[in-house]
Amino acid sequence: MLLNSKAEFFIPENLDFEKSLSRTTHMGIVAHSDDLEILAYHGILRCFASKERWFFGVVVTDGAGSPTSGIYENFTENDLINKRREEQKKAAVTGEYSGVAFLNYKSANIINPEEKGVMEDMASIICSSGPTIIYTHNPADKHDTHVAVALRVIQSIRELPAEYKPEALYGCEVWRSLDWLIDDDKKVFDVSERESLAQSLLKTFDSQITGGKRYDLATIGRRKANATYADPHCTDKMQSVIYGIDLTPLISDINISVTEYISDYINRFKEDVTQKIVALS
């Protein structure tokens, strides 16, 4: 099914493979293990304990090269790859995912725009599962591999026949918050429910947490900050919020430049700040 011979599928509870794909309604396509639980949590939450909605995750890289310390400091690269894959599988069971695809590409393959295999594998999974909504990284992220994954996702969907394209594509927060977007440009995902689930999923990745990166605290903290700082003139309407950029126009109209599309968001932010300073000076 996939071009990369190292790719692997994990289907919780040994469910039928074809069924696990075909019932997918929400999908996350991310660079690394634990990115699903950070940026695509809205989809995970929407599908949790549902019989009509199912979440399927796609992890593009093998996870090599992550910084570590403590008990993981002396792990070999292969040890760490295997550990992160094991953690992602545990998260899939906890979150009741329909399944997870590990594409197991190297970051160098993703960053290289001439590497077509990853886009073909993405397209194959999307066509086989038919998700309505896809979450991925936003092109304004500051991690090179994250931006590359977002661009490959956009390009792979653009090349699909119309009947296989999702109804919506969203780019969400990991490395760089999206609170700088003007309010009208924010795609607001209310993830206030089941905070214990959010915490459980993030804490699954012990190789990250004990290894020196407190993504569990930072992610929950950012979501709470987004909710509290959403509006200075009223009390909190939500308790936990993920911000995203609506990338759907980029897959609906292949002639829209990704660079110009994201630059327009930045320019609207610049104009908003400038106008306010001028008005109050």
**Residue of 271 and 75 predicted with greater confidence:** 271
The yes-or-no verdict on residue 123 having pLDDT over 80 is: yes
In a domain, 172, yes or no: yes
In a domain, 145, yes or no: yes
The yes-or-no verdict on residue 34 having pLDDT over 70 is: yes
In a domain, 56, yes or no: yes
* pLDDT at site 69: 67
**The amino acid at 37:** E
Q: What CA–CA distance (Å, rounded) separates 28 from 91? A: 14
* pLDDT at site 89: 97
The yes-or-no verdict on residue 19 having pLDDT over 80 is: yes
In a domain, 87, yes or no: yes
Q: At 266, is the pLDDT very low, low, confident or very high (cuts 50, 70, 90)?
A: very high
* pLDDT at site 67: 65
pLDDT in tens, 137-185: 999 999 999 999 999 999 999 999 999 999 999 999 999 999 999 999 9
In a domain, 3, yes or no: no
Q: Range of 162's domain?
A: 8-280
The yes-or-no verdict on residue 1 having pLDDT over 90 is: no
In a domain, 243, yes or no: yes
Tokens of 177: 């918050």
Backbone CA torsion sign across 65, 152, 36, 17? negative
Q: Which of helix, strand or coil describes residue 118?
A: helix
- Residues with Cβ within 8 Å of residue 208, at least 6 apart in sequence: 34, 66, 84, 215
Min mean pLDDT across 9-18, 113-122, 131-140, 170-179 is at: 9-18
DSSP assignments along 204-215, one per residue: T-HHHHTTT--H
Q: What CA–CA distance (Å, rounded) separates 195 from 199? A: 6
Long-range (24+ apart) CB contacts under 8 A made by 89-93 are: 89/10, 90/204, 91/34, 91/36, 91/37, 91/201, 91/204, 91/205, 92/10, 92/12, 92/57, 93/12
pLDDT in tens, 205-263: 998 888 788 999 999 999 999 999 999 999 999 999 999 999 999 999 999 999 999 99
* pLDDT at site 64: 74
* Crossing angle between the packed helical segments 144-158 and 117-129, to the nearest 10 degrees: 60
pTM: 0.96
pLDDT in tens, 54-91: 999 999 998 776 666 677 777 888 888 889 999 999 99
* Crossing angle between the packed helical segments 215-228 and 195-203, to the nearest 10 degrees: 150
In a domain, 2, yes or no: no
**The domain spanning residue 219 has which CATH number?**
3.40.50.10320
Contact, 201 vs 41, CB < 8 A? yes
* pLDDT at site 2: 81
* pLDDT at site 211: 79
Q: What is the CA radius of gyration of the chain?
A: 19
Tokens of 67: 């910084």
- Name the helix (H) or strand (E) containing 129: helix 117-129
Number of independent structural domains in the chain = 1
In a domain, 174, yes or no: yes
- Name the helix (H) or strand (E) containing 152: helix 144-158
